[in-house]
């Protein structure tokens, strides 16, 4: 079986176009076969339609907890972005590896897979688990089927590291997220007779203004946590659509909004306020003109925040591998870590190579020194897991 450096493995992984609306099976099958070549068996947990899969593998004894290294295999689209080269062909220049997913987060996966033969040869006393998921970028969707399998195992991993890009800094907390689609149905008519119709776009705008007011209130009143780059819960309205022509009262309007909340904050309170305003303030006025008018909320995605204690075993363990005594950081972006922690009770931190500022960007890149630092971390982890189990 061919050995890969982490950079050579990254080149292979970037070459798989795993944008979320496509299958990741070609990559997953490559990883399964690669691991099998080193005597490592894998379990595939497929999506409901069979077009995608998670992968879960264990190296070492299966009768004890061990450490799980987790990452998502999907990447965001490149459509409409100005890339200087082919996004799915890795290019190395000026000590940077360019390609979609290089930072978010195939760099971490590449380092783990490149190190797998050494873990397999080490006769580990404490096991290493590898968990790869799909559809993280569209709401941490695929990992939930993996979580169902993990929850049924006789022995769970003792701790987990999710390798999202943190510049190799231990992260023990991140925000959670709720994302919703809102569709408004009004009544069409000629724009010269506005009283005869219900303008769905204008009512959508009123609801958006209310969401903006809630966002301003959180920004001024908190709660606050200064360790986050955005130190409070945020609300954001993204795409908005509606109307057909200027002289037609829009019958339909729709938009999407998200709440990215501090893990200690309760997003359901904000969501309830938004729904109450729509149903108690806007809908009665709409139905006074058009009885079948409606405002429909549909959840797009939701995942919890991560809140691991700064002195938790997993934090101290990760810090010891790095030789980094700094307090763990907090980040505003979300990961699968909160699901591992809350749904199946695996203490988790986020730690991986690269910067989140490069994620989702054209000419996404990963500094080679970051990839090397991840290699060093995995070397330290292998030595630690080779010691007698505590």
Could you please report the per-residue DSSP string of 152-193? TSSS--SEEEE---STT--EEEE-EEEEEEEEEE-B-EETT-
CA neighbor of 236 nearest in space, from 270, 266, 211, 264? 211
What tokens were used for 108? 């971490």
Q: Mind listing the pLDDT tens digit for each residue in 37-52? A: 999 999 999 999 999 9
Q: How many CA atoms lie within 13 A of 304 on its CB side?
A: 15
pTM check: above 0.75: yes
Does 349 sit behind a cis peptide bond, omega within 30 degrees of 0 on the bond before it?
Answer: no
Residues marked active site are found at 74, 136
CB atoms within 10 A of CB 258: 19
Q: Which residues pair with 255 in a beta bridge?
A: 182, 240
Q: What stretch of H or E contains 303?
A: strand 294-303
Q: Mind listing the pLDDT tens digit for each residue in 205-242? A: 999 999 999 999 999 999 999 999 899 999 999 999 99
d(CA 19, CA 22): 6
Q: Which residues pair with 96 in a beta bridge?
A: 93, 367
- Let me know the angle formed at the C-alpha of 202 by 275 and 222, rounded to the nearest 5 degrees: 45
Domain spans of the chain, in order of start:
6-174+306-386, 176-303
d(CA 197, CA 191): 8
CA neighbor of 188 nearest in space, from 252, 245, 253, 249? 249
pLDDT for 1: 76
pLDDT for 161: 98
Whether the CB-CB separation of 233 and 325 falls below 8 Å is answered with no
pLDDT for 389: 62
Whether the CB-CB separation of 261 and 176 falls below 8 Å is answered with yes
pLDDT for 67: 98
pLDDT for 390: 56
6-174+306-386 sits in which CATH class?
A: alpha beta
- Residues 6 or more apart in contact with residue 189 via CB below 8 angstroms: 196, 197, 248, 249
- Residues 6 or more apart in contact with residue 379 via CB below 8 angstroms: 115, 118
d(CA 329, CA 309): 11
CA neighbor of 340 nearest in space, from 147, 139, 145? 147
Locus of tokens 């829009």: 250
Please identify every stretch of the chain with a pLDDT value under 70, giving residue numbers as ranges. 389-390
d(CA 370, CA 291): 60
DSSP per position, 67-101: EEEEEE--B---TT---SS-TTS-EEETTEEESTT
Whether the CB-CB separation of 116 and 38 falls below 8 Å is answered with yes
Would you state the torsion angle of the CA atoms of residues 99, 100, 104, 106, taken in this order, to the nearest 10 degrees? -70
d(CA 74, CA 27): 10
pLDDT for 177: 96
What tokens were used for 95? 């000590």
CA neighbor of 236 nearest in space, from 180, 184, 277? 180
Domain covering 176-303 in this structure, CATH number: 3.30.70.360
């Amino acid at each position: 079986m061919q050995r890969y450096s982490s950079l050579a493995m990254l080149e292979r992984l970037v070459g798989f176009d795993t944008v979320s609306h496509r299958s990741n099976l070609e990559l997953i099958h490559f990883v399964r076969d690669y691991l099998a070549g080193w005597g490592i068996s894998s379990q595939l947990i497929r999506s409901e339609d069979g077009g995608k899969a998670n992968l879960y593998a264990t190296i070492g004894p299966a009768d004890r907890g061990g450490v799980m290294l987790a990452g998502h295999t999907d990447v965001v689209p490149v459509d409409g972005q100005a890339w200087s080269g082919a996004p799915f062909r890795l290019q190395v220049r000026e000590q940077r590896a360019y390609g979609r997913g290089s930072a978010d987060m195939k760099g971490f996966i590449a380092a783990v897979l490149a190190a797998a033969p050494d873990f397999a040869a080490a006769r580990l006393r404490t096991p290493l688990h590898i968990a790869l998921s799909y559809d993280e970028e569209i709401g941490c969707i695929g990992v939930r089927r993996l979580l169902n399998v993990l929850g049924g195992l006789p022995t769970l991993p003792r701790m987990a590291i999710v390798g999202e890009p943190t510049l190799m800094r231990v992260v023990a907390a991140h925000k959670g997220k709720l994302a919703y689609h809102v569709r408004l149905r009004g009544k069409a008519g000629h724009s010269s007779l506005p009283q005869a119709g219900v303008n769905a776009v204008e009512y959508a705008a009123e609801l958006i203004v209310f969401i903006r007011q809630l966002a301003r209130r959180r920004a001024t009143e908190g709660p606050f946590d200064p360790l986050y780059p955005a130190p409070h819960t945020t609300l954001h309205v993204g795409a908005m659509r509606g109307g057909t022509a200027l002289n037609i009262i829009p019958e339909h309007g729709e938009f999407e909004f998200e709440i990215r909340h501090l893990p200690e904050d309760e997003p359901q309170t904000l969501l309830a306020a938004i729904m109450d305003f729509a149903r108690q303030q806007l809908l009665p006025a709409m139905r006074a003109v058009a009885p079948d008018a409606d405002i429909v909320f549909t959840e797009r995605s939701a995942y919890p925040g991560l809140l691991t204690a700064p002195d938790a075993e997993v934090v101290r363990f990760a810090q010891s591998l790095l030789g980094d005594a700094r307090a763990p950081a907090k980040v505003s972006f979300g990961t699968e870590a909160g699901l591992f922690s809350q749904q199946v009770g695996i203490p988790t931190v986020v730690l991986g190579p690269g910067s989140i500022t490069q994620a989702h960007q054209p000419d996404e890149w990963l500094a080679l020194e970051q990839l090397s630092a991840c290699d060093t971390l995995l070397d330290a982890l292998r030595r630690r897991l080779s010691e007698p189990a505590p």
